[in-house]
Structure 1
Amino acid sequence: MKRKLVSLVLALAMIASLCTTAAYATDTSTITSAPMTLDSTKLALRIGESASLTASVMGCIMSDAVLTSSDPNVATVMGNTVTGAGLGRAVVTATTSDGQTATCNVHVVLKGIDVSAWQGNINWSSVKSSGVDFAIIRTGYGSEMWDQQTDAYFNANYSGATANGIKVGVYHFSYATTVAAAAEEARMCLSILNGRKLDYPVFYDIEDSTQRVLSRELLSSIAQTFCSAIESAGYKAGIYSSPSIYNSNLASSILDPYDKWVAHWGVDVAKYSNPYTMWQYGSATVPGISGAVDQNYSYVDYSSVNQPTTPVEDPSQVSPDTTFKSDTTYPYNFGSNSSYIYKITTNSASRPTAVSSNPSSVSVAFYQKTTGGYLYKITNVNQGAAEITTTLGSLSASFTANGKANGVISDTTHPFTIKRGATYQFKFTPNGTSATPVFTTGNGSVLKPVLTQKVGSSYYYKISGVSAGCTGVYSTLPGQQAVRQCVITVA
């Protein structure tokens, strides 16, 4: 009897130990939250070019991340490959099964430079070979002394660029603080052009410190005076400036007819909310040019006869599609199944984008193309309602999906680091199901299981760090795919 009593005491002590140490790591590492990231937050592609994006947490690749594009007419997504479809801007979002997200700004563009006498002699053949599509060339600056303030390299730059098949536009640097001075600058610019053919607009460069103190009404009138004179001469006119000046001194509707070229360096997308057709995003070296030269993206093919006559928020145009409907419009409630497939019927060659308003309850992902449209799969993640919206340009279709509590809840979800040889114990609790889950690690050479023990309705799963690397801990219910519960790095 004494031995049985001792055995009972030891068994009770073991259970108590499991329950009180469920979230205890034997090393001294601090559990820290780490966001999911993409290996690029900005991509620049030409139409037809592709690039891959990989999502990770603390260097561990998230293989369950699904990529979607905010506008498939600009950028399409297939797996982890992003392809330029049409000129414009789009955001590609990676979403994991547990609701983590990360984004990348995708620019589908023509690539160009802007040059002046500061670059000296340019080897335009080398510039063309490097992949430059267009060049914006300075005509000159101000208007006081035309012979001295005409750019000394304008003629050579124009001739060299056009002779090598590079599309050309120009800019004129302004010092004007009066409407009369702006009219004179326009006269000087047109005199320098002397009727030359241009592919890109004539841009009015407004950035001088003397202009920053002018009122919005005056500086806007100055810009309008120059641009109006340029367009009266048969050229397309535009304005170059920074977001700060656009949003203050040039914030006038009288300038809406003119294209905007925005200068904003060191960001993934220009911080200017109004329409713009070109972005000067930084500087870099280019073969054939000594030193760094300004770099630009154009979201409009100005040499195309199909170019828009006025800038739009997204320069790519969505072709009309009179057929766009979902086969699911009423709310969908998950039953014993964990997923559901719905169809979007459309005659568009571009794949619509589907998003969930609450991916922590119901996630959505493209499934496959089918006759007459596209299939999308929604997956039950946890209890809660989500609005599933599928869009193509201005067209959209939505329905509500109600997720049910049916999964395994972990007491630890944030990524963390342990040392080799150290252990950590998880507490997993099935929610809404009586099925027995299976627990695994994604890479047994990095993490190995030490113990799996059921206590009451919960499971205790202890792992040990084996070698340097990172991997996930997964739970799998019968008939369902594995769900990543946590990401662990072994240092």
Structure 2
Amino acid sequence: MRRLLLCLLPLAFLVNGCTTGYDAFSDVSSAKTRFSDTKPQDFGSDHPQRHAIHGIDISKWQGDIDWRAVKASGVAFVFIKATEGKDRIDPRFTEYWNEASTAGLLHAPYHFFYFCSTADEQADWFIRNVPKDAMALPPVVDVEWNPGSPTCRTRPAPEVVRTEIKRFMDRLQAYYGKRPIIYTSVDFHRQNLVGYFKDYHFWVRSVAKHPKEIYADRTWAFWQYTSTGLVPGIKGPTDINVFAGSEQNWHNWVAAVQKQGNS
């Protein structure tokens, strides 16, 4: 039965979304990476190095990047901040996007969602600034509370939150041909998302405990396990993430989402 599950997992996952766990059935092995962490967390037997595929997420704060060194360190993918709200774009987005492409690193853009702007205003802004023909991986919507924001600290009711997020993602999927990934934090997920969006891939932040301990009833596709990583080619701390499945799961998933974009 286990062998059958291993064979069926990639297809089931690609067709049905995150309804089946990657790491529950996949053979994972220690990743061959050259990056480290200034404040490593002890995750016990479920440590991130069990996973073969690692990646980073970046914004303007990473500054100048040596992309060849990044790729050589074992980074397989990168999430790049593109836009925020209805009128902000990361000033290094285009530069990072082009350089990641040149280095041969798979990359996806992410949007920081503001609850002081409508979903349509934000979708219009994202679509205006992110090239359709360069969408190798699905776009990401970053949904979390932002108490330090100087312009938007509002916290709508959960029903409003879910409606706005869904509208934004529907717009992006219709335009780019790929179902967006949802990035979220523990508190935001607990207050707004538990039990919802089960047919979407989730990218979760969990830097103190394994996601299975703090994300109720949620199967995750990507896990952001540290914000204090040291990655060759980048000065200063960097967020590091893992993909939940095996290397073969990863290749299957990438092939499937790229095909979606070309259909």
Q: State the TM-score, normalized to the length of structure 2.
A: 0.71
Letter of the 2:27 counterpart: V
Q: Which residue of structure 1 lines up, in the alignment, with residue 161 of structure 2? A: 219
Is the CA contact 2:138–2:257 (under 8 Å) kept in the aligned structure 1?
no
Q: Measure how far apart 1:306 and its partner are.
A: 8.7
In structure 2, do the counterparts of structure 1 residues 116 and 226 end up closer, same or farther at CA, with 3 Å as the change threshold? same
Instruction: Note if contact 1:220-1:251 (Cα within 8 Å) is conserved in structure 2.
Output: no
- Could you tell me which of 114, 128, 131 is aligned with 1:194? 131
Q: Once the 2 structures are TM-superposed, how far is the Cα of residue 231 of structure 1 from its aligned partner?
A: 0.4
CA distance in 2, matches of 1:267, 1:109: 19
Secondary structure, aligned partner of 1:114: strand
Aligned counterpart, 1:130 = 73
Check conservation: 1:177, 1:214, Cα contact below 8 A.
no
Counterpart residue number, 1:277: 221
Q: Secondary structure at the match of 1:290?
A: coil
SS of 2:46's partner is strand
Residue 194 (structure 1) shift: 2.3
Aligned mates of 1:183, 1:202 — CA distance in 2: 16
- Structure with higher helix content: 2
- C-alpha deviation, 1:189, in angstroms: 1.1
CA contact (8 A) 1:216 1:251 kept: no
Equivalent of residue 114 in structure 1, options 52, 57, 73 = 57
Q: Aligned with 1:291: secondary structure?
A: coil
Q: Within 5 A, what are the aligned runs for 1:7-156?
A: 73-75=26-28, 83=29, 104-105=45-46, 107-143=50-86, 145=87, 149-156=88-95
> Distance in 2 between the 1:73 and 1:185 partners?
37
**Residue aligning to 2:170:** 228
Structure of greater relative contact order (alpha carbons < 8 Å, 6+ residues apart): 2
Q: 1:159 to 1:306 in 2, by over 3 A?
A: closer
Structure 1: which 5+ residue stretches go unaligned?
1-69, 76-82, 85-102, 310-491
Aligned identity (percent) is 27
- String of CA shifts for 1:86-105, please: whole Å, max 9, x gaps: xxxxxxxxxxxxxxxxx711
Letter matched to residue 231 of structure 1: Q
| Counterpart residue number, 1:288 | 233
- Distance (whole Å) between structure 2 residues aligned to residue 262 and residue 157 of structure 1: 23
Q: Which has the larger radius of gyration?
A: 1
Note the C-alpha offset of 1:268.
Answer: 3.8
* Matches of 1:278 and 1:167, distance apart in 2: 14
Task: Give a deviation string over 1:382-417, Cα, whole Å, max 9, x none.
Answer: xxxxxxxxxxxxxxxxxxxxxxxxxxxxxxxxxxxx
Partner residue, 1:361? none
* Aligned twin of 2:142: 205
How many corresponding residue pairs? 208
**CA RMSD, 1 decimal:** 2.6
Q: How does 1:299-448 map to 2 (within 5 A)?
A: 299=244, 301=250, 302-305=253-256
The one-letter amino acid paired with 1:155 is T
Cα distance between partner residues in 2 of 1:306 and 1:169: 12
Amino acid paired to 2:51: V
